Amino acid sequence: MLLGEILFSSSAAVYSPPMSRGGKAAVFGLDVLQAEGTSPSLAVEIQHKNLSENHSTSWASIGSFSGVTGTGMITAKAENLKEQIRLKFTLSGTSAWMRVQMVPVSWME
């Protein structure tokens, strides 16, 4: 059984599927199950946009997780969210990879 998504170091970012906002603010959680390679470092950015910007490819950053270099649970809070949200993952390091699992979002009004 495979738990979580596997991210490999690359010059390209990986994006989560867009989700609809469930509140004006939220706490996002990420559980890093494995981190391998030389100096793995994961940057996770919370991005958002309104539905009216559907044809636009410009998502705006509204928050981020602190630099992730090892295993464990991390959280980040974002406020004043627009209608659609996604996460942008950028992994760096030499032959680096991480297995990550998103925790259900805790929405707040």
Residue predicted with more confidence, 57 or 85: 85
Residue 53 phi/psi, 5-degree rounding, is -95, 20
Q: What are phi and psi of 51, to 5 degrees?
A: -60, -35
Domain limits, the chain: 5-108
**Mind listing the pLDDT tens digit for each residue in 5-55?**
887 888 789 999 999 999 999 999 999 999 999 999 999 999 999 988 766
Q: For residues 79 and 107, give the distance between their C-alpha atoms in angstroms, rounded to a whole number.
A: 10
Nearest to 71 by CA among 49, 53, 97: 97
Its CATH class, for the domain covering 5-108, is: mainly beta
* pLDDT of 56: 65
pLDDT of residue 1: 45
| Rounded distance between C-alpha atoms, residue 41 and residue 57, angstroms | 26
pTM: 0.89
Nearest Cα residue to 30 out of 56, 58, 61, 7: 7
* 86 pLDDT higher than 80: yes
